[in-house]
Amino acid sequence: MQRCLYRGECREGGVPESFFPSRLPQLNERMELLDVTRLSIFKGGKELFLYYECGGERHEPEKLLADNGELLQVWPGGEQPRWWVPMMDIFHYQQPVSREYWKRSQGERTPFGRVAVLKPEQVSSYVYYHYQYQEERPGDGDKYGIIGLHENLLFFYSELPATVEPVPYSGKLTTNLRPEHWGEVMEPHFIKWGDAQPDQEIWKKLTMVLNVAVPAGKKEE
């Protein structure tokens, strides 16, 4: 099971709320063909954030989503034009050990996305603390929660209601160094949003544009 996170940027005047739903029939076909079991797209201003799960081999988003160039800006740096740039998994509460284990067995969950910006000089510290947390206390939060990083921008994908359950594996660290006053230690890492709601000065909520899951009875079972 591969978990994929990507970041994109809309062209001027692009409307993802109509663009992606209009391509749902083709997207559903490609998801079934490529063994992609669920996919979510979120929006924050001109920024788009993509999350999906591949049952086997990892597939690039251009294989899933058609006509990206009509909506998205091209990202520089690739051998071929790319409209989505990968975000690195720097933290997850759990990792999928099998398809059956990863199945949403307690009813459907609603995807939820947030974004935050790190001070450039604090990126390594943030990654350090989160790896420590991840490997010392696996399963400490939502089973499907994951944080991706591109440059100094964070994308946090999770699902509501949260699924909190024991993990079937041990973390890679046997230490117990995760700071107990987690929020106090984390706050200096962030550049706060100046235009956000009072409770979203660090982690700003995204708007969900699209959510597609494999129908019951197909690949998730």
pTM of the model: 0.94
pLDDT band with cut points at 50, 70 and 90 for residue 221: very low
Q: What is the pLDDT of residue 126?
A: 98
Task: Map out the domains of the chain as residue ranges.
Answer: 2-213
Q: How many helices (H) and strands (E) does the chain have?
A: 6, 11
Collapse the DSSP code of 5 into the 3-class scheme (helix H, G, I; strand E, B; otherwise coil) and give the result: strand
pLDDT band with cut points at 50, 70 and 90 for residue 66: confident
pLDDT exceeds 70 at position 48: yes
Sign of the CA dihedral with 28 first, then 32, 33, and 38 last: positive
> Could you tell me if 64 and 83 are in contact, meaning their C-beta atoms sit under 8 angstroms apart?
no
**Percent of the chain residues past pLDDT 70, beyond the cut:** 96
CATH T-level fold of 2-213: Alpha-Beta Plaits (3.30.70)
